[in-house]
């Protein structure tokens, strides 16, 4: 029976880890803007712009 108690403790601790992770994501503002990042990810990284502007 103690195995059962042990397992339940473990499962709740694992679940708690996810709860803490969730609270952390909310606090750090990851849900503040759910649109812009989806656009931002599609922008291409360009070649460094500095050289060209110096040439000009």
Partner 1 sequence: MQLHYKKRNVSEHIQCFHCGEDCLDSSIHFNEKVFCCEGCKLVFELLDEKNLCTYYSLNSSPGVHHNAITPSERFLYLDEISVAQKLIHFSDGNESRIIFYIPKMHCSSCIWLLENLQKINTGINSSTVNFLKKEVLISFNKSAIQLSSIVSLLAYIGYEPLISLNDLEQKIEKKTNKSEIIKIGIAGFCFVNIMMLSFPEYFSLGDFYDQKNLKQFFGIVNLVLSLPVFFYSASDFFISAWKGIQQKFLNIDLPIAFAVLVTFLRSIYEISSGTGAGYLDSMTGIIFFMLIGRYFQNITYDNLSFDRDYKSYFPISVSVLRNNKEKSTPVSDLKMGDRILVRNNEIIPADSILESESTYIDYSFVTGESRPIKKLCGELVYAGGRQIQGAIELEVVKEVSQSYLTGLWNKESSSTKEAQSFIHLTSKYFTIALFTIALTSFLYWTLASDVNRGLNALTAVLIVACPCALLLSATFTNGNLLRVFGKNKLYVKNALVAEKLTIINTIVFDKTGTITHGSAVKFIGKNLTTEEKSIALTLAANSLHPLSRKIAEHFSNIEKCRVDNFQEILGYGIHGKVEGRSVILGSEYYVTGSKKAFSATASKVFFSIDGLVLGYFSVDSSYREGITNLISDLDKTYEVHLISGDNDSEKEVLKKIIQNENRLHFNQSPEDKLEYIKLLQNQGKKVIMLGDGLNDAGALLQSDIGISVSDDINNFSPSCDAILQGESFNKFKLFLDFSKCGKNVIVASFVMSILYNIIGISFSVQGNLSPVIAAILMPVSSISIVLLTTLSTSLIAYKKGL
Q: Which residues bind partner 1 (CB under 8 A)?
A: 1, 4-5, 8, 12, 15, 19, 22-23, 26-27, 29, 31-36, 39-40, 42-44, 46, 49, 52-53, 56
Closest CA to 8 of 20, 21, 16: 16
Task: Determine the Cα–Cα distance for residues 10 and 56; give it in Å rounded to an integer.
Answer: 64
Q: How far is the CB of 19 from partner 1 (least distance, A)?
A: 5
Chain length of the chain: 56
Q: How far is the CB of 32 from partner 1 (least distance, A)?
A: 7
Q: How far is the CB of 9 from partner 1 (least distance, A)?
A: 9
Task: Determine the Cα–Cα distance for residues 21 and 11; give it in Å rounded to an integer.
Answer: 16
């Amino acid at each position: 029976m103690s195995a059962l108690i042990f397992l339940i403790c473990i499962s709740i601790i694992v679940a708690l880890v996810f709860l803490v992770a969730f609270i952390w994501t909310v606090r750090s503002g990851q849900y503040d803007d759910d649109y812009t990042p989806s656009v931002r990810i599609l922008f291409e990284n360009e070649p460094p712009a500095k050289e060209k502007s110096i040439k000009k």
